[in-house]
Amino acid sequence: MEDQKNPNQPIPLKKSKSWKNFLGKKWAFPAIYIGLAAIILAFVMWYQGNVFHAVSDELSKESTPVAQNQPETAAPNTEVSKDDAVPVSKATQPLAWPVAASVSYSKAMDYFNDAAAKEEQAKALVKYNNSYIPHTGIDIVSTDKKGFDVTAALDGKVKKVENDPLVGNLVEIEHSGNMVTVYQSLDKVTVKPGDEVKQGQVLGAAGRSTFEKDAGIHLHFEVRVDGKSVNPEQYLNHAEQQ
């Protein structure tokens, strides 16, 4: 008699031949590796994307909101009103030589020019107290070596009149364009501070000074622009020069 089968006996599981066949292929493990790598990469990108959005949301919450009703800032007004406009100074006339029309004169010393040749610079040095000092104007003398009337080079207002122990009597006149003309080594003065003068009006007479005693009777004439001495011949009317 055949042995009866025990219904409680476990039935052995059969191994899948297809799985064995798959693993037996040469390309099986590389394919599995590539698949796992793709899954890991996708997970990393998904995770980073979530972190980025989370951080962006936090920054958006912390940022200061812009007021909806905040007024717009008006653009600066670059236009200048006629009342506030600064007038541009324009020379309506060149400077006249500060000598009366009847006087025959010549230039005795030039303005010291930094760009001039050394020989020319040496001629524009004033010797005083064993020192040589650059000449800040021009010296004018009459051909007969006598005194002569000194006149205003340009319309303006007398700013200063004083007697200086070194340069003698002096007159300063203010003009437009931050220009000042200076007249030194005067023997006498016929104007006072505050006087309005016209071009060619007599200011005084040429004389002597301690600072330029070797020059004899002469006029020391200066032009200052913005407080700095400049070469007067840049502004003088050369058509009048003798």
pLDDT digits over 26-54, tens only? 556 666 667 676 677 666 566 555 544 55
User: What b/e string do you get for 171-207 counting C-beta neighbours within 10 Å, with b at 16 or more?
Assistant: bbbebeeebbbbbbbbbebebeeebebebbbebbbbb
State the Cα–Cα distance between residues 54 and 60, nearest whole angstrom. 10
Question: How much is the pTM?
Answer: 0.62
DSSP-derived pairing of the beta strands 156-164 and 149-151: unpaired
CA proximity to 99, closest of 90, 87, 108, 89 = 108
Q: Where are the domains of the chain?
A: 17-57, 105-234
Residue 193 — φ and ψ, nearest 5°?
A: -55, 135
- What confidence score (pLDDT) does residue 23 get? 57
Segment 133-154 shows an average pLDDT of: 97
Dist. CA 100–CA 232, nearest whole Å: 17
Which CATH architecture does the domain made up of 105-234 adopt? Distorted Sandwich (2.70)
pLDDT of residue 37: 67
Q: What is the pLDDT of residues 92-110, one digit of tens each?
A: 578 999 999 999 999 999 9
The CB-side HSE value for 67 (13 A sphere, CA atoms) comes to 4
